Chain A
């Protein structure tokens, strides 16, 4: 069965500092990998996705993620965070970009706190 692990429940970063959020997955085949962001009281917004090709993927809001097959990881990075980046971040895995009949499997999320 597929699973997603986000080892860090909370991360605190100073504004302007770099950020890396960790994600490890378990999946039987080549999956689609996603990072979503959720602000309080909001739904999920897609930051980026990966299926194949260049293992470094660029997303919106200055985020990027690197796929490492050997480590089953898909870590999210940003060189310089802004106070508006404070939110909950979810890593997800699925068989198709749109989820398909099995849907997407999400991690439990990482809560990002930005210090002034």
Chain B
């Protein structure tokens, strides 16, 4: 079984730029959630994608957006990067039914470390 893979592993950007992070979900999973983990903090929920639509969002501004593709992989896009966006971005996948609820635990990737200069 293939686990959750994220790319790239590290990325350096400057303020005001845009970035795209990618995630391939674990085999058999159909939902993808994205989390932001600032240094010394726990992960914070950004949003979840299910059936190629965003079906839940945490307290993040609209410049954080995403996509989910028919193969269940996903992208996280961040526009107008700010210094506070420097963090580890984690992707997690799970198997959901119905309205996106899942009785299966999430499996996390190793993350993308984003540094903003």
Q: Which of chain A's residues has its CB closest to B91's CB?
A: A43
Determine whether the beta carbon of B56 is less than 8 Å from that of A100.
yes
Mind listing 19 A-B residue pairs with CB under 8 Å?
Answer: A4-B42, A43-B108, A44-B92, A45-B108, A92-B42, A96-B101, A96-B103, A98-B101, A99-B94, A100-B56, A100-B96, A101-B48, A101-B56, A101-B99, A102-B45, A103-B48, A104-B45, A104-B106, A105-B45
Stretch at the interface among B14-22, B33-41, B69-77: B33-41
A-B contact count (CB 8 A): 87
Which positions in B face A, CB cutoff 8 Å?
4, 31, 33, 35, 40-48, 55-56, 58, 90, 92, 94-96, 99-111
Contact A109 B41 (CB under 8 A): yes
Whole-angstrom distance between the Cβ of B33 and the nearest chain A Cβ:
5
Q: How large is the interface on A (under 10, 10 to 19, 20 to 34, 35 or more residues)?
A: 20 to 34
CA distance A105 to B35 in the complex (A): 10
**Known contacts A4-B42, A36-B108, A96-B101; can you find 13 more A-B pairs with CB under 8 A?**
A41-B110, A42-B111, A44-B43, A44-B92, A46-B107, A99-B48, A99-B102, A101-B55, A101-B100, A103-B35, A103-B47, A104-B43, A104-B106
